[in-house]
Structure 1
Amino acid sequence: MKRILTISLLMLMLLVGCSTEISDYHTQQPALDIFHYFQGKTEAWGMVQDRSGKQLRRFHVDVDGDVKGDTLTLNERFVYDDGERQQRVWHIRRTDTGRYTGTAGDIDGVATGQAAGNAFNWRYSMNVTAKGSTWLLHFDDWMYLQDQTHLFNKTAMKKFGVTVGTVTLFFSR
């Protein structure tokens, strides 16, 4: 029992030691203002991978963004390689400097986000159907502005704290 506890503590320390904080990016340029970046039309290409890295799906996204005051509305239209179409409309509020909340029809609860430097971290939960079952997964999005027109997004999808897959996107405006 003592050995299991020791191994568990070491694993926990390793996981905590590897976590990235938004403040790690506060000096990185160009600075990412999601309201500015997503205002107007944006296009993205992405893929979903399982935990081993095997590509499961590819997709294209057309995004229309509209800023009104402290709210950014993002209308995302996905087309997957198998022909499936999906739409998500985000309503993102700037609540404080570098802090955001958001809702969308298929999101469970309220998403929370933080920005610093060229990075934005967005966390939310969503029900995902795969292989005939629906699972509540937790998404940990990290967006990185490369220049004024290109942005990378890497997302870890987690169940019970364990990464079960990733989503990678490349945005262009």
Structure 2
Amino acid sequence: MTVLWSFLGFAISLIGFVIVKRKMSFSAQKPADYDGPLSFDVRKALSGPLLCEGVIYGPTGRVASRFCAEMEGRWDGNKGTLSEFFTYDSGSRQDREWQLVVSDDGTIAAEAEDLIGTGRGWQRGDAVQLNYRIRLMEDAGGHVLDVTDWMYMTPNGVIMNRSQFKKFGITVGELVATMRPKEVA
């Protein structure tokens, strides 16, 4: 009987933890949380030359990698291309080219060579959210991860990006980065 009560206590604690985590964490954010005038329009914010700096945290919460990137956004109406050129602290390089489509209702469709299927998201107020599945480079294990990107426009025009990477529903990494217009001389 003591084992049963111990198990029930553990199960109730686990259920409580899951409920709190879903209501009070990164994944608790909803599009409606950012309703308001559109101040973050990806067609404007991700246009022209951009600079990006960031860190990637591994599953233990420690920094696993640091990176810098140069980006170039080009738009023709609601269709755009965002080219990214990453340099990591290990010296490795990675390039990615996003194909983006923004619908009149603010929803976003995104494709890239290392994505599995089409990413989906939206822009509202000062936030953009994008969900997609990505296959990591072979030297990073080649794993397929579920990614949730949240980007926030700051008052000075810098974009803060926070992303979580999950495998089988378990968070295995997180990215925090800034993106800003590149000063053109």
Normalising by structure 2, we get a TM-score of 0.84
Structure-2 residue corresponding to 1:45: 53
Max radius of gyration: which structure? 2
Report the Cα distance in structure 2 between the residues aligned to 1:132 and 1:100, rounded to whole angstroms. Answer: 28
Structure-1 residue corresponding to 2:30: 21
CA contact (8 A) 1:71 1:92 kept: yes
Report the Cα distance in structure 2 between the residues aligned to 1:131 and 1:69, rounded to whole angstroms. Answer: 37
| Structure 1 unaligned regions, length at least 5 | none
Structure-2 residue corresponding to 1:87: 95
Number of aligned residues = 172
1:168 corresponds to 2:180? no
Match of 2:17 among 8, 11, 15: 11
CA contact (8 A) 1:30 1:147 kept: no
Q: In structure 1, the residue corresponding to 2:103 is in which secondary structure?
A: strand
CA contact (8 A) 1:30 1:146 kept: no
CA contact (8 A) 1:30 1:148 kept: no
RMSD of the alignment, in Å? 2.0
| Identity rate, percent | 25
CA contact (8 A) 1:145 1:151 kept: yes
Report the Cα distance in structure 2 between the residues aligned to 1:30 and 1:102, rounded to whole angstroms. Answer: 20
| Structure 2 unaligned regions, length at least 5 | 1-6
CA contact (8 A) 1:44 1:61 kept: yes
CA contact (8 A) 2:38 2:124 kept: no
1:37-74 deviation per Cα after TM superposition (whole angstroms, max 9, x unaligned)? 11111110011111332111111111111101221110
CA contact (8 A) 1:60 1:79 kept: yes
1:112-164 deviation per Cα after TM superposition (whole angstroms, max 9, x unaligned)? 11111111011111112577633211111110100353110000111111111
CA contact (8 A) 1:79 1:86 kept: yes
Greater percentage in helix: 2
Normalising by structure 1, we get a TM-score of 0.90
The structure whose RCO (Cα within 8 Å, separation 6+) is larger is: 1
Could you tell me how far 1:5 is from its partner in structure 2?
4.7
